[in-house]
Structure 1
Amino acid sequence: MSAPTPPPEAPAERLLARTVLVLALGVGAALRVWTALTDDGIYWPDEVFQSLEPAHRLVFGYGMQAWEFIEGARNWALPALVAVLLKLSALVGLEGPRGYLGVTRGAFGLLGAATAWGSYRLARAHGASALASAAGASLFALASVPLYFAPRAMSENASAPAVVLGLALALAPGASRRAGVAGASLLGLAVLLRLQNGVFCVGLLAVLVARRDWRAAREALAVLAAWAFLFGLLDRLTWGRWFHSALVYLDFNLVQGKAAAWGTAPFSYYGRVLLRSMGAVTGVALGLSLLAARRAPGLLGVAFAFFVLHALQPHKELRFLVPVLPLFAALAGVGLDAVLRHLPPSPVRLALPLAVVAVAGFSGMRAGLLTFGDLGQYEDVKPQASAWDDSGAINRLLITAGRLPDVCGLKVEAVHLAWTGGYSYFHRDVPLYAHNGPARESGRYSHVLTLSGAVGNGERVASEGPFALVRLPNTRCAPDPAWSSRLP
Structure 2
Amino acid sequence: MSAVPPASPTAAAGPQADALVGVPTEVPGRDTEAPFERRLGLFLLGGVLILGAALRLYWALHDDGIYWPDEVYQSLEPAHRLLYGYGLVAWEFVQGARNWALPGLVAAVLGLGRLVGLTDPAGYLAWVKGFFALVGTATAWATWRLSRASGASPLAASGGAALFALAAVPLYFAPRAMSENASALPVVLGLALALPKAASRRALVAGASLLGLAVLLRLQNGVFCAGLVAVLLGRRQWRQAGVALAVLSGWALAFGLLDKLTWGRWFHSAIVYLDFNVLQGKAAQWGTEPFGYYPRVLRTAMPVLTVVTAALCLVAMPRAWGLSLLAAAFFVLHALQPHKELRFLVPVLPLFAALAGVGLDSALRLLRGAPARGTAVVAVAAGALLSGAGAGALTFGQLGQYERVRPRDSAWDDQGPINRLLEVAGRRDDVCGLKVEAVHLAWAGGYSYFHRKVPLYPHTGPGRDSRLFSHVITPVGLEGPGTLVAREGPVALVKLPVADCVPDPGYSWRLP
With the length of structure 1 as denominator, give the TM-score of the two structures. Answer: 0.99
Q: Which residue pairs with 2:48 in the alignment?
A: 24
Which deviations, in whole Å up to 9, do the C-alpha atoms of 1:384-415 show, x marking residues without a partner? 00000011100000000000110000000010
Q: Which residue pairs with 2:100 in the alignment?
A: 76
Give distance in 1, aligned partners of 2:30 and 2:229: 26
Give distance in 1, aligned partners of 2:94 and 2:370: 62
1:215 pairs with 2:239: yes
- Picking from 419, 433, 439, the partner of 1:415 is 439
Give distance in 2, aligned partners of 1:75 and 1:444: 34
- Picking from 335, 342, 350, the partner of 1:318 is 342
Regions of 4+ moved over 3 Å:
none
Per-residue deviation at 1:91? 1.2
Give distance in 1, aligned partners of 2:413 and 2:51: 21
Give distance in 2, aligned partners of 1:73 and 1:252: 8
8 Å Cα contact 1:3/1:174 also seen in 2: no
Per-residue deviation at 1:2? 7.7
- Picking from 228, 241, 252, the partner of 2:265 is 241
SS in 2 for 1:448: strand
Which deviations, in whole Å up to 9, do the C-alpha atoms of 1:14-36 show, x marking residues without a partner? 22111210111110011111111
RMSD over aligned CA atoms reads 1.0
1:89 pairs with 2:129: no
- Picking from 483, 493, 498, the partner of 1:459 is 483
8 Å Cα contact 2:396/2:407 also seen in 1: yes
Q: Which residue pairs with 1:371 in the alignment?
A: 395
Q: Which residue pairs with 2:494 in the alignment?
A: 470
Give distance in 2, aligned partners of 1:249 and 1:294: 37
Per-residue deviation at 1:341? 2.2
8 Å Cα contact 1:449/1:470 also seen in 2: yes
- Picking from 285, 288, 294, the partner of 2:318 is 294
* Equivalence map 1:160-171=2 (5 Å): 160-171=184-195
8 Å Cα contact 1:3/1:172 also seen in 2: no
Give distance in 2, aligned partners of 1:439 and 1:135: 57
Q: Counterpart of 1:215 in structure 2: which amino acid?
A: R
Give distance in 2, aligned partners of 1:128 and 1:79: 36
1:134 pairs with 2:158: yes
Per-residue deviation at 1:7? 4.4
8 Å Cα contact 1:398/1:426 also seen in 2: yes
Give distance in 2, aligned partners of 1:393 and 1:97: 14
- Picking from 314, 323, 340, the partner of 2:364 is 340
- Picking from 302, 322, 330, the partner of 1:306 is 330
Q: Which residue pairs with 2:213 in the alignment?
A: 189
- 219-228 or 4-13: bigger deviation: 4-13
Q: Counterpart of 2:257 in structure 1: which amino acid?
A: L
- Picking from 375, 398, 403, the partner of 2:422 is 398
Per-residue deviation at 1:359? 1.4
Q: Counterpart of 1:420 in structure 2: which amino acid?
A: A
8 Å Cα contact 2:169/2:301 also seen in 1: yes
8 Å Cα contact 1:74/1:245 also seen in 2: yes
Q: Which residue pairs with 2:57 in the alignment?
A: 33
Per-residue deviation at 1:351? 1.6
For structure 2, the 5+ residue unaligned runs are 5-28
- Picking from 265, 275, 282, the partner of 2:299 is 275
8 Å Cα contact 1:85/1:104 also seen in 2: yes
Give distance in 1, aligned partners of 2:85 and 2:338: 37
Give distance in 2, aligned partners of 1:303 and 1:367: 25
For structure 1, the 5+ residue unaligned runs are none
Q: Which residue pairs with 1:331 in the alignment?
A: 355
- Picking from 266, 271, 279, the partner of 2:290 is 266
Per-residue deviation at 1:112? 0.5
Q: Percent identity?
A: 68
Q: Which residue pairs with 1:362 in the alignment?
A: 386
SS in 2 for 1:453: coil
Per-residue deviation at 1:355? 1.5
8 Å Cα contact 1:126/1:173 also seen in 2: no
Give distance in 2, aligned partners of 1:91 and 1:170: 36
SS in 2 for 1:449: strand
Q: Counterpart of 1:466 in structure 2: which amino acid?
A: P
Per-residue deviation at 1:3? 5.2
1:441 pairs with 2:471: no
The count of corresponding residues between Structure 1 and Structure 2 is 488
Per-residue deviation at 1:474? 2.1
8 Å Cα contact 1:122/1:172 also seen in 2: no
